[in-house]
Structure formats: structure tokens, C-alpha cells
């Protein structure tokens, strides 16, 4: 029996209407119909609704969200709130479930030791058993989206099946319409597909009950993600970090890059130009604050695809059209653009915050928070504790907002450009208190790949109760890399070296401290580091060559500080920030070496770069007889 005839039985039983059946038939794609039929049979929803690109269909998703209480209207027009599952402060559905997010690996195939994997057949048997009947009593949405601009060589289409209207609504803000794009496939199976179910629900608002059976499995062989028993968008929105994993795998054998990148338009004062930067930073290392620098424009804050282009640059697109951002500490002083966007009338979804009289409140918002209200734990009051006696905050630390980028006043006009934008530079940022200077340019492309591969994020007392614990996070992407790390780095090297004009690569560190623990960087100093890097990409500034990269010259930074921050930048500050800490960098090299020796088939260029840097630093230490060397000693 072909897929169309098989699907007809669901029409006959009124699970899917004739109208919705015809919407699928109009795609002329047997693979789509086969997938829908397979998972309707497995998940057993009581109704299937196919959503096209029409405003009527999309409005249906918004309205049903409210009707079934997955979202609730707030006082400001267009604002709604969603709550995810909560048992206690240690057991909830309000963050990515790293433990139960696994990549399916065929038996006998190599996987890097830091990738969370499960043998493919075992994993499929497990999750398909859990998904059997998971949508009973639910309505299943069949959605079509485009990862990237429409009519673009960059983009990948995605089919989404979900029984969560909150997921469907979120995707309408975050992704571009794809139903008409699917028609252009002409029957091809070249698309990702993502199947999600919130599973059995409980309470009001309805939230996932069986969190112990939460599973998010990535199947690279089928270009699909299967996700069940969750609602939090990081686990349920297959098009986000889950599809990023699929794209990383696809890019690795098609010679392009799928990365955890922002895309920023940099606009230097007095210049009639814009330079586009990508950037990757681990959580808490300055990614959002860099992407939202005052006076600049944003194309994306999270995920980008990069491909070689005819103008000899690589070009990048944001695969999304919206932001699913952490709302904690968004306030009018530090984040005025985002703050003003989410407090004014427009389509905004808040999640896991506090509601009082129809108004949203969150941690660090810069104004007083009421002592009572409704939040993810139900009726809330100051001092309320969970079943284990742990105090429940008014809003979850990982509470979120979802909004379209075009609703931000700093949205770049090339947000939806089918050709993307030329990438002039890539920023890799980490957090370390005592090692790397605030900004540093790589010596060449492979050295830049080494920069990205050696990003370190240092923990703070606020997070783990212990400072100085450093975690290497390659390209700020380690949670999402699903292929062997050696293969990933080799693809990176090949990509940049094939370009006539590869992006310049810069490492940043906004967290350098002095001996007394005082930060050596001001909060807005990063604007100067970015502007220096922009000038380097355009030939405006020289630099000081060192064994670890190119350093800025003092006179250039002094001028930039006056121009952008109206600040007198002292030579003494420059010396403290940009002196090369030889002993600390040698220690970092040892940490990098230790980690990468655990990985098979790390490419030769990586070890050549590491060993060359170490040899030069040891020679420098022996010649100068000291561990800290001023930039002036390299000129």
C-alpha cells in the first residue's frame, strides 16, 4: 500500500480531515506523507491538523494555544505566558536535558568521548516504545518551516510534527514559513524532520507529567530528531539546537559550516561601510552583549550557516528569524533594546516568569518584584519552598522570552537576504581571569581554528561555589557537536583554506582580572575591541605580532576609546591588559593537549599549531627570563 492510500484510513476514521489530507497531497511528496502516516500510527493522536503558510492556519495555532491553556494572555497586547513542567527546583522541565539528549550511533562506529551517545538500534527501540500512544487525546500539528531565508541556497527545509501548540506558536516567531518551499522539493527527501510530543499532561496549565521518561534522540542516519515527554523549548523545538546537530553532521560532508554563531553588522563611525562578524561564546561569556552592542545591527543571536560564495568570501545566514533568549537580567540600563521590545505591544511569548495582575516579572529586571503572583510552581509568595525545602524564586533563572528579530530596533536590513552577508571576521570568546588578553587576532586561518578549538569557560562562585574551574568548549559548540571532533576540526580547516578571503579570526576575553581580583575591562570596553577588529579587517590598523597572535597597538586603542566611549585609555591599563602571560598560556596549552589527546584523528595542523606556540613561548621565556612580557617588547 502506498503512503497516500495508507493515510486515507485516517481520513476515514476522522483523525485527519479531507481538507488537511489534501494539503499534504498538494506537496506531491511521498516522503512527507510516509512520515506523517508512520508517526500518526505510532503516536495515536485524536486529531491531525496540517498548517500551511496561510495567516488563517497560523492564527488557528495562536488561538488554540490560549483555548487549551498552553499559553495565557497578559495585559499588554500580543503578550502571552507559558509554563513548563515543575516538580521541584532540581526536577523540572525548564532547561535543556543534557543527560537524556543522545545521538544515535550505529554499533561499532566511533564517537568522541564527550558526545552523549546510545547505540542506534537500542536507542530507537527505547524511544519508539515510549512514543507509542504518546499523543493519545491530543491534536497533532503538521508544520513546515525553512531553516534560513526562503529562496536561498543556504536553507534547509524542516517538517515538524508536535502535539504542543506552544511549540507551534514559538516556531512561528522563530522560523520562516516553509509549506510553499516544500512544494519546490519536487518530491525530494532532502529535508530534516522532527517529531515531538509533550506526552501525558497534568495540572493547570497542562504540563508534562512523565519527566522521568523524557528523551531527545538525534538520528543522523535519517536526518531526524525524536523528542518526547517535554515542553521546554530547548528540548521540544526540534528546529533549534536539535536541528543544529543534524546540520553540523550534514555540513561535515558537504564542506560548509553550521555553527553556534551570532551574526552582527558592525558600523564604524565616520565610515560608509558595514562589516559583518560572526561570534561564538559559551554561556555567560558575553555573546548576547556583543551581539547587541549599541550602534550596531543584528542578523542573528544563535545559529548560522556559512557557505563559500561567488565573491570569494564566505557568506552567513541566520537560520532563524527570532530570538529565544534568557530573560534574567534584561533591564533598561544594560539591555535597553531588548527591554523596550518585550515591554511594548507586539507578539511576545514569556516562559517561566512571575505574573501579577497580568504583568510579567523576572529576575534582574531593574524594578521591584511583587511578593505574590503566579509562576511555574502555581500560586507563588515570597518565601515559598518546594517539597525539599528549597526556596522557589519568583521567576526561574532560565526563564525566557521569544520575539521576532524584526521587532528589535537594531534589526539589520539584510536579515532575510537570500544570499546572506559576507563574513569579515569571527569572534571566539571565553571567560578566564588570568590568561588571555581582551582581544587577539589569529596569525592565519588554521591558527584561528585553534583559537576556536581552545575556548575556555571559567566557572564562578555563583554557579558552582568554586572559582577557577576551566572547561574547554570547542567553538562554544561542544554540547551540539555530534561528529568526531577531529573530523569537525578538519572540516573547519578545509573550509577556510578553500576561501580566497577567509574571515579574520579573533579571540576575546572580557573577564581578565588583576592580582586583587578586580576586572581590568570595563563593561562597554568590548565595543572598542570589536571596532579594532573591524578596522583590522579593512586595513585601518597595524598590529603587533607575537607567538600567540596579533595584538592591538596602544595608540590605535587610545583613539578608539575616545571616539566610542569618550574615555581616556591609560598606557598603564594597556600594559596590564595586553602583556603576554607566558606561564599562564603554557598552562593553558597543557590543558588543551590533555583534552585533545583523548580524541582520535585530531588533524595535524592542530598539533603543529599547539607545538609551535609552545616552543616559541618557552624560547621567549628563556630569552627574557620572565613570565610576563609587555607588547612593546615585541615591536
Catalytic residue among 278, 285, 314, 473: 285
Residues 322 and 346: their CA atoms lie apart, in Å, by: 13
Q: Are residues 444 and 401 in the same domain?
A: no
Mean pLDDT of the chain: 95
Q: Are residues 389 and 528 in the same domain?
A: no
For residue 413, tell me if it sits in a domain. Answer: no
Q: Are residues 395 and 247 in the same domain?
A: no
- Tell me if 300 sits within 8 A of 287, measured CB to CB: no
For residue 414, tell me if it sits in a domain. Answer: no
For residue 417, tell me if it sits in a domain. Answer: no
Confidence of residue 9 (pLDDT cuts 50, 70, 90): confident
Among 254, 286, 305, which residue terminates a domain?
254
Over residues 405-431, the mean pLDDT reads 97
Cα angle 15, 39, 241; round to 5: 125
Name the β-bridge partners of 162. Answer: 141, 196
pLDDT digits (tens, 9 = 90+) for 216-274: 999 999 999 999 999 999 999 999 999 999 999 999 999 999 999 999 999 999 999 99
Q: Are residues 568 and 430 in the same domain?
A: yes
Name the β-bridge partners of 385. Answer: 391
pLDDT digits (tens, 9 = 90+) for 286-341: 888 899 999 999 999 999 999 999 999 999 999 999 999 999 999 998 899 999 99
Please give the tally of structural domains in the chain: 3
Query: Is 462's pLDDT higher than 50?
Result: no
**Res 445: pLDDT:** 98
For residue 80, tell me if it sits in a domain. Answer: no
Q: Are residues 440 and 529 in the same domain?
A: yes
**Res 12: pLDDT:** 75
Among 379, 407, 435, which residue terminates a domain?
407
How many CB atoms are located within 10 Å of the residue 104 CB? 22
Q: Are residues 502 and 629 in the same domain?
A: yes
What CATH code is carried by the domain that includes residue 153? 3.40.449.10
Over residues 608-629, the mean pLDDT reads 93
Residues 228 and 236: their CA atoms lie apart, in Å, by: 8
Q: Are residues 208 and 122 in the same domain?
A: yes
Query: Is 465's pLDDT higher than 70?
Result: no
Task: Give the neighbor-by-neighbor strand order of the sheet with 304-308.
Answer: 257-259, 304-308, 314-318, 421-422
Q: Are residues 480 and 551 in the same domain?
A: yes
For residue 199, tell me if it sits in a domain. Answer: yes
Cα separation values, 465 from 187, 373, 468, 515, Å: 55, 30, 10, 20
Domain limits for position 538: 259-321+422-634
Over residues 407-421, the mean pLDDT reads 97
278 classed as catalytic: no
Residues 84 and 202: their CA atoms lie apart, in Å, by: 11
For residue 38, tell me if it sits in a domain. Answer: yes
Q: Are residues 476 and 563 in the same domain?
A: yes
Q: Are residues 90 and 238 in the same domain?
A: yes
Residues 212 and 599: their CA atoms lie apart, in Å, by: 32
- Tell me if 198 sits within 8 A of 164, measured CB to CB: yes
What CATH code is carried by the domain that includes residue 571? 3.90.228.20
Angle of helix 3-12 versus helix 18-25 axis, rounded to 10:
160
pLDDT digits (tens, 9 = 90+) for 56-68: 999 999 999 999 9
pLDDT digits (tens, 9 = 90+) for 68-96: 999 999 999 999 999 999 999 999 999 99
For residue 513, tell me if it sits in a domain. Answer: yes
Confidence of residue 461 (pLDDT cuts 50, 70, 90): very low
pTM for this prediction: 0.95
Q: Are residues 137 and 272 in the same domain?
A: no
| Radius of gyration, alpha carbons of the chain | 25
Query: Is 464's pLDDT higher than 60?
Result: no
Hunting for cell 489530507 — which residue is that?
21
- Burial bucket for residue 113 (CB in 10 Å: 0-12, 13-18, 19+): exposed
Q: Are residues 427 and 481 in the same domain?
A: yes
For residue 390, tell me if it sits in a domain. Answer: yes
Among 222, 254, 286, which residue terminates a domain?
254
How many CB atoms are located within 10 Å of the residue 292 CB? 21
Residue 477 contacts by C-beta under 8 Å, 6 or more apart in sequence?
A: 248, 259, 260, 280
What CATH code is carried by the domain that includes residue 392? 2.170.8.10
Percent of the chain with pLDDT over 70: 98
pLDDT digits (tens, 9 = 90+) for 161-204: 999 999 999 999 999 999 999 999 999 999 999 999 999 999 99
Amino acid at each position: 500500500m502506498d503512503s497516500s492510500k495508507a493515510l486515507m484510513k485516517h481520513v476515514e476514521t476522522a483523525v485527519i480531515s479531507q481538507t488537511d489530507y489534501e494539503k499534504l497531497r498538494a506537496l506531491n511528496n511521498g516522503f512527507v506523507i510516509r512520515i506523517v502516516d508512520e508517526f500518526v500510527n505510532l503516536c495515536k493522536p485524536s486529531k491531525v491538523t496540517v498548517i500551511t503558510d496561510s495567516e488563517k492556519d497560523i492564527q488557528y495555532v495562536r488561538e488554540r494555544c490560549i483555548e487549551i491553556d498552553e499559553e495565557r494572555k497578559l495585559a499588554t497586547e500580543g503578550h502571552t505566558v507559558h509554563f513548563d513542567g515543575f516538580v521541584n527546583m532540581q526536577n523540572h522541565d525548564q532547561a535543556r536535558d543534557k543527560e537524556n539528549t543522545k545521538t544515535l550511533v550505529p554499533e561499532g562506529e566511533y564517537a568522541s568521548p564527550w558526545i552523549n551517545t546510545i547505540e542506534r538500534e537500542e536507542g530507537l527501540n527505547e524511544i519508539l516504545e515510549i512514543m507509542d500512544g504518546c499523543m493519545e487525546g491530543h491534536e497533532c500539528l503538521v508544520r513546515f518551516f525553512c531553516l534560513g531565508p526562503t529562496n536561498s541556497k543556504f536553507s534547509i527545509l524542516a517538517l515538524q510534527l508536535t502535539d504542543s501548540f506552544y511549540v507551534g506558536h514559538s516556531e512561528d516567531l522563530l522560523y520562516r514559513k516553509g509549506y510553499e518551499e516544500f512544494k519546490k522539493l519536487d518530491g525530494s527527501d532532502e529535508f530534516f524532520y522532527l517529531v515531538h510530543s509533550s506526552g501525558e499532561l497534568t495540572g493547570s496549565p497542562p504540563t508534562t507529567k512523565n519527566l522521568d521518561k523524557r528523551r531527545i534522540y538525534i538520528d543522523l542516519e535519517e536526518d531526524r530528531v525524536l523528542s518526547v515527554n517535554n515542553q521546554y523549548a530547548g528540548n521540544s523545538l526540534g528546529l533549534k539546537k536539535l536541528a543544529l546537530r543534524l546540520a553540523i553532521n550534514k555540513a561535515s560532508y558537504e564542506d560548509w559550516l553550521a555553527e553556534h554563531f551570532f551574526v552582527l553588522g558592525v558600523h564604524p563611525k565616520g565610515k560608509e561601510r558595514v562589516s559583518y562578524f560572526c561570534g561564538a561564546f559559551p554561556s555567560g561569556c558575553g555573546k548576547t552583549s556583543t551581539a547587541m552592542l549599541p550602534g550596531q545591527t543584528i542578523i542573528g543571536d544563535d545559529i548560522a550557516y556559512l557557505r563559500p560564495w561567488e565573491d570569494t568570501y564566505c557568506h552567513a545566514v541566520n537560520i532563524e528569524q527570532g530570538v529565544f533568549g534568557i530573560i534574567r537580567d534584561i533591564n533598561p540600563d544594560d539591555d535597553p533594546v531588548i527591554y523596550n521590545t518585550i515591554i511594548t505591544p507586539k507578539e511576545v511569548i514569556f516562559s517561566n516568569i512571575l505574573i501579577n495582575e497580568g504583568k510579567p516579572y523576572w529576575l534582574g529586571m531593574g524594578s521591584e518584584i511583587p511578593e505574590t503572583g503566579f509562576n511555574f510552581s502555581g500560586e507563588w509568595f515570597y518565601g515559598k519552598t518546594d517539597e525539599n525545602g528549597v526556596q522557589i524564586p519568583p521567576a526561574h533563572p532560565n526563564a525566557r522570552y521569544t520575539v521576532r528579530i524584526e521587532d528589535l530596533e537594531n534589526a539589520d536590513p539584510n536579515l532575510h537576504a537570500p544570499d546572506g552577508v559576507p563574513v569579515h571576521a569571527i569572534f571566539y570568546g571565553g571567560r578566564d581571569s588570568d590568561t588571555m588578553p581582551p582581544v587577539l587576532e589569529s596569525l592565519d586561518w588554521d591558527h584561528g581554528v585553534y583559537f576556536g578549538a581552545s575556548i575556555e569557560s571559567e566557572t564562578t562562585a555563583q554557579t558552582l561555589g568554586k572559582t577557577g574551574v576551566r572547561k574547554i568548549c570547542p567553538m562554544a559548540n561542544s554540547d551540539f557537536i555530534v561528529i568526531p571532533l577531529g573530523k569537525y576540526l578538519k572540516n573547519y580547516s578545509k573550509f577556510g583554506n578553500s576561501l580566497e578571503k577567509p574571515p579574520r579570526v579573533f579571540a576575546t576575553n572580557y573577564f581578565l582580572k588583576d592580582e586583587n581580583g578586580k576586572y581590568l575591562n570595563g563593561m562597554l570596553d568590548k565595543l572598542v575591541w570589536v571596532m579594532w577588529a573591524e578596522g583590522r579587517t579593512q586595513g585601518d590598523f597595524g598590529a603587533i605580532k607575537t607567538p600567540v597572535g596579533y595584538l592591538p597597538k596602544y595608540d590605535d586603542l587610545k583613539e578608539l576609546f575616545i571616539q566610542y566611549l569618550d574615555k581616556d585609555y591609560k598606557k598603564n591599563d594597556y600594559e596590564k591588559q595586553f602583556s603576554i602571560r607566558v606561564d599562564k598560556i603554557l598552562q593553558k596549552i597543557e590543558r588543551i593537549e590533555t583534552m585533545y589527546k583523548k580524541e582520535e584523528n585530531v588533524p595535524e595542523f592542530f598539533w603543529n599549531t599547539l607545538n609551535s606556540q609552545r616552543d616559541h613561548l618557552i624560547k621567549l621565556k628563556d630569552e627574557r627570563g620572565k613570565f610576563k612580557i609587555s607588547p612593546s617588547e615585541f615591536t
